[in-house]
Every structure is written in structure tokens, then in C-alpha cells.
Structure 1
Amino acid sequence: MNNRIMQNRTKMFGIIAVIGLVQFLLFSTIAMFFYSGGTSWNKLAEGYTFWHNVMSDLGRTVSYSGLSNTISSKIFNSSLMIFGISIIIIYLNMSKSFLLSKNFVSIIKIIGIISGLGMIGVALTPDDILSDEHMLAVWIWILSLTTVLILLIVSKVIHQIYDSILYVSAILLFAVLIHIGQGLLDMWSPTVATTQKVVVYLNVLWYLLISNNIINQNKQLKKI
């Protein structure tokens, strides 16, 4: 009876995580329509330029055009915070069925939660008023995510689990490493903004796959 209650609770949290991920996709897109304009390269650009503005621009209290960005920042930062909370929920509800290795799961949970906290930190530190803190939070998020991806891929390969999560993990890791390289080389161009979009949306897809795994993990436990 208690086991069934735990399984139902885990499934519920998996569904909550999916809702948190989907709302980020929805509200970050809505925030783009309220962005008050400008990029770091062109202060006169109108509205949000998908391939030239980075995601963090949406969270600025004042846009690059010099205009107030209150509506966009409130929508984006709120949705990003929920995204971060969803990440923490996902890691807290991973079970041994996910990687078939208790040690790997425990390590990934801890590092993954740190990644989620980094995401929340990004939401709480608008780039235009808390730039250093914002970048620190970004690095905490992306370096923790990188570590999780490496551990997950290693565990999947060791256990010969060649599923969609493994393949998306490999693609995401490749994109993340490119983006980290851009940061270390202090690159700043529309290419960086484009790479960031690829990383963010692949990350959401990756977490959706993991959430689906959590929702259905009681079925997988029966197979083990």
C-alpha cells in the first residue's frame, strides 16, 4: 500500500515537472512579444530578435533600447524560476530504475539540484542590475548540467542502455561544450545567442524525456 502511494506521488511530481517545463516554453515565448527592444549589438533594434537577443535579455529590467522592460522581465523571470524548481523536482524524484545504479543516481541528484538552484539564481539576478551575480548563476547552472550529462552518459553506456535520453544527452552535451567554449573565449556575437537557444531548448526536451521516465518508472521497476 505504502509502495503504491509512493509510486503515485512520484508520478504526480513527474507530471508537475512537465507542466513546469511547458510553462517555461510558453511564457518565455510570450515574454519575447513584450520585450522593449534592442540588442547588445544594435540598441535601435525593434522588439526581440530571436537569433540576436539572448534569453537573459528578456529578464532585464531595462532593455538595451533604454526602455523599461518590466512586463517581459516579470513574465520571463517568473517562468524561469518555475523552470528551476521543476529541475529540482525532477532530480528529487529520480529512482534507481533511471540509471540502474544507486551511486550514480545519488551523485546526479546532488549535482542536478545544484543546477536547478543555479537556474533559480539566474531568474533572481537580472543581467542589467546584477551582472556578476547573474553570470555566476549561469556558470553554476551550466557546469552542473555538464557534469550530470557526462555521468548520465557514462552510466547509460556502462549499462548498455541506448535510449532516446542517451542520444539527446550526447547532442545536448556537445552543444553545451560549444557554449562553454564560447564563454571561456569571451566570444559575444549572434552566433552565441543562437547557440544558447539550441542549448536551452535541447535542455527542455531532455528534461521532458526524463520527466516521462519518472512518470513511468514504476512500470520500469517491474521489468528490473
Structure 2
Amino acid sequence: MSRLRTPWPRWAAQFGIFASIQFGVLTVLAMLLYAGGNNAEPTRPGYAFFANFFSDLGLTVAYSGRANTFSMILFATALTLAGLGLIIFFVAWPRWIANRLPAQLIAYLGSFFGIGAGLSYIGVAFTPANLLREAHINFVYAAFVSFFLGVLCYLVAILLTPGYRRGYAAVLGVFALLLAGYIWLLFNGPNTNTVQGLTIQVTGQKVIAYASITTLFIVALGANRMIVPATSPPAG
């Protein structure tokens, strides 16, 4: 725990908590301001929770044909901050892992993938699907695959770290299963050109998006609680 007696790990954990909360708040506001329509029903008013993707919030022009500026700005801000939250937390996370092999090596590998996921989320934010569709989709694929690999690494690293509560490993285990299921859905799920296929894909995305921010919130909150205050006397 001596490596956690500096402000940096606490700040990183607290930024992870902030990033998860702001994503939920700003995307709800973006939904309320969305200019309308979806892939199957372009004339449908407003944002339909089970018929519109999160990415629809980032369109410069909505399916309705109306400018979507305010929703786009909120969505891009939310996803950029969420991506930064992942990057910052994954940079700091190895400090909570046992300072010996193989735990540290696995943690650094996990951070490599986690940082990649964060960068990919920022990439999604700045590639509106109506303007840069191929790049947008590739960033989506990269984000979830990288996140999955990063979570698997930290699941193992936590299990190899004495004193790290196993409940956090359980949280990562459940999240890894959800990510695996969603990655399968992304590559093998139904086409979004039908109402049924669109509903399935959108619902899957909502589940994994909220699971992602919930997981970040839980592990960052737990990490913050594990930090030894700088004023505490050294053990022993």
C-alpha cells in the first residue's frame, strides 16, 4: 500500500467515478434534446430508448433530417470524458496490484488494452456515424474488444493480489461475460434494417453501455477506498 500514499492514484480513481456519473447524466440530457428519428422509423419524434443507438445522439443531422447539434455536443462530451476516465484510471490501476510478477505484468497488459479502449471511445465521439461511418464502426469494435481484454487481464491480476477484495474480481467477471455476449451480438447479431433486429441490437448496446459505466464506478470507488491517506503513519 506504500505506493498509494500519493495524490495521483486518488485523483485517478475519483476521476473514474466522475467520468461514469457524467456519462449517465449527459447522455440522458442528449436523449431529451435528440432531433428525432431512427434507422427503421425516420419520422418518429424524439429519442426512442429501445430503437435509437447511443451513436444516434452523436449524429450531426438526425434521421428526421433536422440538425442535431445540441445532442451531438452533449454526447461527444460525455463519451470523451468517459474515454479519458478509462485512460486515466487504467494508467493508475497497476498501483493497486501486487508489486511482483506475474501480477504486475498482467496488470500492465490490461492497462494497455484499457487505454486502447478509452482512446477508441474518444474516437467514436469524434466520428459521427452519418459522416464517418466506417471509422465510427471500427472504433466501436476496437473499444469493446479492447475493453474485454483489459477486463480479463485485471480479473486475473486482482486474483493474484493478496488483500484485493475478491468482490471486485466478481464484478469484472460478470462484466467480462456481458462484454463477450455483446461482442458476439455485434459481429453475429441480427441486421438493424428490421424493427426486430434494431430493437435487439439497441437493447444489447444499452445493457453493455450501462454495465460499462457501472463497472467503472464500482472499481474506481473501491480503489479510492483502498488508498492509504498520505498523513497515515507507515505500517509496522
Q: TM-score, normalised by structure 1?
A: 0.89
Cα deviation for residue 132 of structure 1 reads 0.4
Quote the residue 1:185 is aligned against. Answer: 188
Count residues with an aligned counterpart: 220
Residues in 1 aligned to 2:226 and 2:111: alpha-carbon distance in whole angstroms: 16
Residues in 1 aligned to 2:3 and 2:183: alpha-carbon distance in whole angstroms: 42
1:123 counterpart (109, 125, 128) = 125
Cα deviation for residue 186 of structure 1 reads 5.2
Query: Is the aligned partner of 1:18 residue 2:21?
Result: no
Quote the residue 1:62 is aligned against. Answer: 61
Cα deviation for residue 181 of structure 1 reads 1.4
Residues in 1 aligned to 2:98 and 2:168: alpha-carbon distance in whole angstroms: 11
Which structure 2 residues correspond to residues 141-152 of structure 1 after superposition, within 5 A? 141-152=143-154
Cα deviation for residue 3 of structure 1 reads 6.3
Give structure 2 stretches of 5+ with no counterpart.
Answer: 193-197
Answer whether contact 2:37 2:44 (CA < 8 A) is retained.
Answer: yes
Quote the residue 2:195 is aligned against. Answer: none
Cα deviation for residue 9 of structure 1 reads 2.5
Query: Is the aligned partner of 1:215 residue 2:224?
Result: yes
Cα deviation for residue 92 of structure 1 reads 1.1
Quote the residue 1:172 is aligned against. Answer: 175
Cα deviation for residue 106 of structure 1 reads 1.0
Answer whether contact 1:93 1:214 (CA < 8 A) is retained.
Answer: no
Cα deviation for residue 107 of structure 1 reads 0.8
Cα deviation for residue 82 of structure 1 reads 0.9
Give structure 1 stretches of 5+ with no counterpart.
Answer: none
3-state SS in 1 of match to 2:93: coil
Answer whether contact 2:35 2:68 (CA < 8 A) is retained.
Answer: yes
Residues in 2 aligned to 1:102 and 1:8: alpha-carbon distance in whole angstroms: 21
Query: Is the aligned partner of 1:7 residue 2:6?
Result: yes
**Which deviates more, 153-162 or 55-64?**
153-162
Task: Please tell me the root mean square deviation across aligned C-alpha atoms, in Å.
Answer: 2.3
Quick one: structure 1 residues 156 and 17, their matched pair in 2 at CA, closer, same or farther if it must change by over 3 Å?
Answer: closer
Answer whether contact 1:87 1:116 (CA < 8 A) is retained.
Answer: yes
Quick one: structure 1 residues 150 and 12, their matched pair in 2 at CA, closer, same or farther if it must change by over 3 Å?
Answer: closer
Cα deviation for residue 31 of structure 1 reads 0.3
1:196 counterpart (178, 198, 205) = 205
Residues in 2 aligned to 1:92 and 1:202: alpha-carbon distance in whole angstroms: 21
Quote the residue 1:44 is aligned against. Answer: 43
**Which deviates more, 104-113 or 147-156?**
147-156
Residues in 2 aligned to 1:99 and 1:62: alpha-carbon distance in whole angstroms: 49
Q: What letter matches 2:206 in structure 1?
A: K
3-state SS in 2 of match to 1:93: helix
Q: What letter matches 2:93 in structure 1?
A: M
Which structure 2 residues correspond to residues 52-91 of structure 1 after superposition, within 5 A? 52-91=51-90
Quote the residue 1:154 is aligned against. Answer: 156
3-state SS in 2 of match to 1:103: helix
